[in-house]
Structure formats: C-alpha cells, structure tokens
Amino acid sequence: MPSLKDLRNRIASVKATQKITKAMQMVAAAKLRRAQMAAEAARPYAERMGAVLANLAGGSAPGSNAPALLAGNGKNDVHLLLICTAERGLCGAFNSSIVRLAREHATSLMAQGKTVKIICVGKKGYDQLRRQFEKQIIELVDLRSLKQVGFENADEIAKKVITMFEAGAFDVCTIFFSRFQSVIAQFPTAQSLIPAEIPTAAASTGPAASYEYEPGQDEILETLLPRNISIQVFRALLENAASEQGARMSAMDNATRNAGDMIKKQTQLYNRSRQAMITKELIEIISGAEAL
C-alpha cells in the first residue's frame, strides 16, 4: 500500500505528463494544418504533370526506344528502396508501419535473390532498419534541421536517385511513404518511381498526335521525366509530413486521455486511503477514551 505522499507525488507527475501531451497535441494540430495546406498547394502541379506525362507517354510508342526513366532499363535485379519516415518519434505507429511495409518488401525481394539497396529519408526509419539491413542501407538523408520540406530538398534526393540510375547502380526504384487520408487514417504506401507510374485516367484527353512539340517530343520527355521524379518525391514528403502530424495528434490525444483516466484512478485511491486513515485515527481515539 503506497503512502499518501507517494500517491500525491504520483498524481502530480501524471498531471505534468498530461500537460506535455496536451501541448504536443495542440502543436501537432497547428502543424498538421500547415502541412495539409502545403500538400494541397502541391497537388495541382502534380496533377498537371501527370496529365502532361500521360499525354506524352501515350504519344511515344511503347517500344524499346522509350526513355529508361519511363520504362525502366529492362532489368529487374537491383532494387532501390527510398524509405521516407519522420525525424521524430512519439507519433504512434506512423514510423513503424512504414518500416514494416518496407521491411516486408525488402525481405521478399531478397528471398527472390534480388539485390536490395536502401536510402533512408528521416532518422526514425534508419534507426529501425539499421539492425536488420546494415549492409543494404547506403545513405541517410537528414531533413531534421528543416521546418518545412521545400521542393529543393525533394529535388536533391531525386537528383541523387537519377545519378545512381544513370550510373547503373540499380534497376528499379520504389518509394515508401504514408499517404494522408485523414487525422485518424494514414496508409503506408509503396510507389514505383522508376519505371514511372503513369496515371491512366488522364489518357482520355484526346489524341496526342495533334500536339506540336518544341523542341522535340523526345527532348521534352527527357527533361520532363527527371522532374516528374522530383515531383513524386516532393509529394511523398509532403504527404508524409501531413501524416506524421496527424498520427502524432491522435497519439497524443490518446495519451492525454489515458493520463486523465490515471489521474482519476489515483485520486480515488488517494482519497480512499486518506479517509481510511482518518477513520483509523478516530477509532483509536474513541477506543482509547473508552478504556479509561
């Protein structure tokens, strides 16, 4: 049976924790709004890019002369996994669920005898994967110092990936991130970067043959494809940022509620034992008086 002082201390500490989780929840809510706005602002560009790309890709024959960034280089031996996670913890299962998806993917690829290379974006994913995939991880991209992910950061990552691809360091590139649905629903997603995933819905915009190209169709496609990769990475990072804040918000909401429950229970226990002590003292006094 803990003493009254112990109970009082415990209640005070839980209350302090609750204050912290409450503050974190509110901060996450504010950040979520910003992240969501950024994700929404980036959407038009990504959509138009997809439409333009679908138009172009539909025009060029799906033969062997399609650019490697679009169709892949025909091989399927070395896989590059770009795993995007958060830089900070305390956001529920956000990081673990992305890592779990990526880990399953990586182990199944390795079981098929394929070579796997991993680039981690975000420290948390790296921490979790480091033990199992020590040899596969080739790089850690640290975005910790940034307040908000800019297009330049995504561009930098994309450039690295493209340089590696051109050097023949891998054949297929997949990006892992968490798609933001709502505050309570984020889905870890795997998307193929190289070869590019072309949205098919935009294919009905009309015949692509009537287009005039300046300079040429192939040159445009060649400049467009690297940019498309930057955009996809950028979009993934933004979605991830929004998901992270959403996940943190609900995790902290849960924590605050749990702390509230605990305070209630402990307070009840404290009051009960205080009452018991008073009763005990009274009995002692009364029985002492009777004995006289």
Partner 1 sequence: MAAFHFELVSPEKLLFSGSVDSVVVPGSEGEFTVLAQHAPTMAVLRVGVVKVDAGDGKLSQLFVGGGFADISAKGLTILAEKAIPVEELTAARFDADILTSEKEAASAITDEARRLANEKVGQLRDVRATLGL
- Decide whether 235 or 248 has the Cβ nearer to partner 1: 235
Q: Per-residue string for binding with partner 1, 16-55, x by CB under 8 A?
A: ----------------------x--xx-xx--xx-xx--x
Q: How remote is the C-alpha of 16 from its chain's centroid?
A: 29
**How many residues of this chain interact with partner 1, rule: CB under 8 A?**
32
Q: Considering only residues 151, 189, 258, 267, which one is a binding residue for partner 1 as defined by CB under 8 A?
A: 151
Task: Give me 88's structure tokens.
Answer: 């900070």
> For residue 223, how many C-alpha atoms fall within 13 Å in the half-sphere facing its CB?
7
Minimal CA–CA distance to 83: which of 68, 63, 105? 105
- In angstroms, what is the minimal distance from the CB of 220 to partner 1? 6
Task: Give me 157's structure tokens.
Answer: 């990552």
Rounded Cα distance, 36 and 179, in Å? 12
- 174-233 residues in contact with partner 1 (CB under 8 A) are 205-206, 210-215, 217, 219-220, 223-224, 227, 230-231
Q: Are 91 and 183 in contact (CB under 8 A)?
A: no
Instruction: Say whether residue 116 binds partner 1 (CB under 8 A).
Output: no
- In angstroms, what is the minimal distance from the CB of 198 to partner 1? 16
Rounded Cα distance, 69 and 12, in Å? 59
- Decide whether 38 or 80 has the Cβ nearer to partner 1: 38
Rounded Cα distance, 94 and 92, in Å? 6
Residues labelled as active-site residues? 91
Residue type, 191: Q
Region for 168 from its dihedrals, namely left if φ exceeds 0, alpha if ψ lies in -120 to 50, beta otherwise: left
- Decide whether 11 or 39 has the Cβ nearer to partner 1: 39
Instruction: Say whether residue 169 binds partner 1 (CB under 8 A).
Output: no
Minimal CA–CA distance to 237: which of 152, 173, 126? 152
Instruction: Say whether residue 162 binds partner 1 (CB under 8 A).
Output: no
Q: Considering only residues 170, 234, 244, 245, which one is a binding residue for partner 1 as defined by CB under 8 A?
A: 234
Instruction: Say whether residue 168 binds partner 1 (CB under 8 A).
Output: no
Residue written as tokens 């918000």?
Answer: 249
Residue 186 DSSP one-character state: E
- Decide whether 56 or 86 has the Cβ nearer to partner 1: 56
- In angstroms, what is the minimal distance from the CB of 177 to partner 1? 16
Residues that bind partner 1 (CB under 8 A): 38, 41-42, 44-45, 48-49, 51-52, 55-56, 150-151, 154, 163, 205-206, 210-215, 217, 219-220, 223-224, 227, 230-231, 234
